[in-house]
Each structure stands twice: as C-alpha cells, then as structure tokens.
Amino acid sequence: MNSVRSTSWENELKSCIRGKSLVFLLADSNLPDSYSKDIVKVCKIKNKTHLLKIKGGEQIKTHQHLIQIYNELDVVGADRKSVFMCLGGGTISDLGGLAASTYKRGIDFIILPTTVIGMVDAAIGGKNGINLESNVGILKNQIGTFYQPKLIGINFKWLDSLPKDEVKSGWGEMLKHALLIGGPHLEKFKNAEPNLASLIPLIIDSGNIKEGIVRRDVKENGERALLNLGHTIGHAIESLELDSSNASEIKHGIAVAWGIVFTLEVSVRKLGFNDALAKQLIKWIVDIIGYREHLWESKEVWLKMCKDKKNTNGNVKDVMLRSPGDADWHFTWEREEFTILWEQFRERYELTSC
C-alpha cells in the first residue's frame, strides 16, 4: 500500500478527478457550507459534480443510509468512471467508502477528512463499513470492505469547526498510536493538551504510525490487529450506548480511551506491564476524559465482546501491552476472569460507585 495522504490536497484532487465522468461528493451537513462549496468549486472547473449532504454520526452507518446513497448515485447517472468523494469525519468515510467500494463493483474513492480522528485513523487503511442491527442489538462495523482511497486530502483549516468533544475524541485515537509506538513520540504526546493547538503538530506523525502498520498488513492478517488496542471494550461501550439511544453521550475516541485504561490495568496483571508506569498513564488519561456516570455491567459488555469481528473460533480476542511500544494482539479472554476484572474496574471509575 502506497501513501495517498497529501497536504497539497487541491492539486492532488484536481489530478485524481481529471477525466472522470462525474464527481459525487458526500458531505457532512454539520460542516460550514464554505467547506463543501470550496470543494465543489474546484471540481466544477472540469467535471460534472453532484453534492449530497447528510448529517454525520454513528446513526448513519445503516443499510438504509447505504441504499439512499446507491439510489442517489443511480439518479444522477454515476458510472464506473465516476469518483466518490467524502468530506467529513469517520462515519461519513466509513459509509461512503462502503458505497464506493460496492457501487457497480467499485468506483474511485477520495477522502477529505474534517476531524482529528479522520486525519490520524479513520481515513487511513481502507476499512469501510456500517453497523449491524442484530438480535443482541447494534454491533459496530460488522458489514464492510477493504477498499483503498485514491487520495486522503489533509487541510488543517477543516478542523476549525470541530467541537471540543470531537477534538478530545481524536486525542483518544492518537493516544492509541502513542502507546503502540512508545519512545520519544509517546513522551511528546504526553506533553500535548487535548486541543487543536497542541495536537495539529502531531497529527501527521500519528497518521504515519497507523500507515506504517497498515502498509505491512493491509487486510489485518497479523500486525494490523495492534490497531484494535482499546477497541474491544471501546466498541462494546459504543454499541451499548447506541442500543440505549444515547449515541451522542460518548464519542468513539473517548470509548477507546476507556478501553485503553482497562487494558493498562489488565496488562499489569497478565503481561507484567510496569505497575507504577501504568498508574501514571491511567491518571493522565482519566484526568483528561473524566470519570463516567455509568459503565455497563460485565454481562452486557461481554455479550457485545462475543460478537466482536476480531474473534475466531468463539474466542474473544483483545490487545494487551507488555510496555509502551510492545503489544500482544493474541490475547484471549476467559469470561469468568473478565467478569471479575471488569466489575472491579467499574467500582473504581463509575461515579455512581465512587
């Protein structure tokens, strides 16, 4: 996999759409109108362009929204020489990427991320997908494809409209990368505040960490599983929030950060992670993300974990840390041990238990 990220997004965009029959732009309606207008202005110089706006968020990652996009592509006459472009955060590129990868068996795909998570994580690596409404509730990212974009255009000005909670959510994914790589990058990241002024200088480095891992293991047959650090618990928490119609209460990166806090505690017990360092890291993380009013009971979290897409042969898989920069993606949970550890965890970090 070659790098397709570029901060000279406008010139690269012009190159990618040259000769295309249609530019289809899916944009988050939460964004300032000027963002999509600037993109359409560039595209219309040489290409027929169609803009579809939908409100981003985890609630759009459904079959219904996917079909809506297919129908819109059909109505405007998109064909195999068309290009599909996403302007927004990870939910827009997840949904749009799945549409692009499957419409007429695949059309060219461009991501223009407007969130920190998009720039450092969601846009990188070619994972696209929607959630599944199953007999145990909503399950994260169960339906999807591996389909690489032709361009990931980075423009830091698109971050200006981000709410503070979205910036902090991006910090949670950057935390994951920092712990996976360790060393000087982690030390630099520990000195960064969860705000744009502090994070923007680290965004390219953070994205490079993910890109390097993905380049070596595009379809997650091995090392790429490291990028699931914090996500087994994080996705379970998100799914439970979605089931209870509280999708706006916890952002993806915050859920991942809670998953990482739990991972650090378990890693001390199971992999010999340095206890003093773990406590230091946990305090740093919790001071930023704050205690939760409610953490779900172990039986509810376990039910979601059992449906995690990483699992094989009925085994609940997870990622643990021996130390920063040294992770194990082969860890397997036993239900009884998870139940004990999670309930102890809830007592420490749930406000109603404090």
How far is CA 56 from its chain centroid?
13
Predicted local distance difference test score (pLDDT) of residue 118: 97
Secondary structure class of 35 (helix, strand, coil): helix
Query: Would the pLDDT of 219 be above 60?
Result: yes
Predicted local distance difference test score (pLDDT) of residue 244: 86
Tens digits of residue pLDDT in 319-331 = 999 999 999 999 9
CB atoms within 10 A of CB 48: 15
Query: Would you state the structure tokens that stand for residue 166, as one six-digit string?
Result: 């979205």
Amino acid, res. 158: W
Q: Does domain 164-353 have CATH number 3.40.190.80?
A: no
Summarize the confidence of residues 220-234 as an average pLDDT: 96
Query: Would the pLDDT of 4 be above 60?
Result: yes
Tens digits of residue pLDDT in 87-124 = 999 999 999 999 999 999 999 999 999 999 999 999 99
Q: Where are the domains of the chain?
A: 5-159, 164-353
Query: Would the pLDDT of 354 be above 80?
Result: no
Query: Would the pLDDT of 216 be above 70?
Result: yes
Query: Would the pLDDT of 33 be above 60?
Result: yes
Q: Give percent of the chain with pLDDT exceeding 90.
A: 92
**What CATH architecture is 5-159?**
3-Layer(aba) Sandwich (3.40)
CA–CA separation, 226 and 324 (whole Å)? 12
Tens digits of residue pLDDT in 70-96 = 999 999 999 999 999 999 999 999 999
CA–CA separation, 181 and 327 (whole Å)? 9
Measuring CA to CA, which residue among 327, 54, 20 is closest to residue 181?
A: 327
Query: Would the pLDDT of 67 be above 70?
Result: yes
CA–CA separation, 145 and 98 (whole Å)? 6
* pTM reported for the whole predicted model: 0.95
1 compared with 58, residue with greater pLDDT: 58
Secondary structure class of 83 (helix, strand, coil): strand
Query: Would the pLDDT of 352 be above 80?
Result: no
Query: Would you state the structure tokens that stand for residue 110, as one six-digit string?
Result: 């461009």
Query: Would you state the structure tokens that stand for residue 113, as one six-digit string?
Result: 């991320």
CA–CA separation, 282 and 262 (whole Å)? 9
Query: Would the pLDDT of 1 be above 70?
Result: no
Summarize the confidence of residues 127-144 as an average pLDDT: 94
Query: Would the pLDDT of 210 be above 60?
Result: yes
pLDDT confidence bin for 248, thresholds 50/70/90: low
Predicted local distance difference test score (pLDDT) of residue 246: 59
Summarize the confidence of residues 277-301 as an average pLDDT: 96
- In the predicted model, what is the mean pLDDT of the chain? 95
Predicted local distance difference test score (pLDDT) of residue 249: 73
248 compared with 173, residue with greater pLDDT: 173
- Cβ(110)–Cβ(153) below 8 Å: yes
Summarize the confidence of residues 5-21 as an average pLDDT: 94
Beta strand segments in the chain, E? 5-6, 23-28, 49-54, 83-88, 108-113, 127-134, 137-146, 151-153, 316-323, 326-333
